[in-house]
Amino acid sequence: MSRLMHGYIRVVDGFNHRVGRIAMYGIFVLMAILLVSSINKTFFSPTLWTLEMAQFVMVAYYILGGPYSIQLGSNVRMDLLYGSWSPRRKAWFDAVTILFLIFYLGVMLYGAIGSTAYSLGHFGGEPITFFAGLLTGSEEMGYLERSSSAWRPYLWPVKVIMIVGLFLMLLQCLSEFAKDVLRLRGEEI
């Protein structure tokens, strides 16, 4: 069991490390979009796509960088009491609180799957059966949801990024839970 946990931690942490390092460069993409927006508003006619594209890039930057942030321990903590605790007590507290986060992420992931199914034209019941039906060919996409802005981009790409990001965050939280369990057992990570 311990070897399985170590293997899981190594694979998930390695993958999220690489995704997080790539997502870090999203800030430069965001800056470029906002620079183009500023130049166009100042010297030319304003563009319709820049603000909404900046929002989409910010979503990708934030949600794909989240698992890497958890992995590094750079998330916000109330350090008033936590900082003075022993490593074992911290592991107990982290193991319990991460279970709440896992539940929350599960609910968020289910909601993101439903929202993505809606953006692909599924207005009926269970969204997971819709995606299974898309894979088998028994379902087909309907009217694709678009933004209500003047630019009117399709919304499914950013919603797919949200699903991927929430899934990676869920995997990283399970990795952190496994690390806490190993710490409580007294094993090296």
pLDDT tens-digit series, residues 111-157 = 999 999 999 988 877 888 888 888 898 888 888 999 988 889 999 99
Q: How far, CA to CA in Å, does 53 sit from each of 2, 20, 81, 119, 175?
A: 44, 20, 41, 17, 32
The tokens for 126 are 């269970």
Residue 36 CA to chain centroid, in angstroms?
27
Read off the pLDDT band of 163 (50, 70, 90). very high
Q: How far, CA to CA in Å, does 80 sit from each of 37, 77, 85, 100?
A: 43, 9, 10, 21
pTM: 0.91
Long-range CB pairs of 49-52 (<8 Å, 24+ gap) are 49/151, 49/153, 52/147, 52/149, 52/151, 52/153
Cβ–Cβ contacts within 10 Å for residue 128, how many?
12
Whether the predicted pLDDT of 4 surpasses 80: yes
Tell me what the mean pLDDT of segment 7-12 comes to.
Answer: 97
Whether the predicted pLDDT of 46 surpasses 80: yes
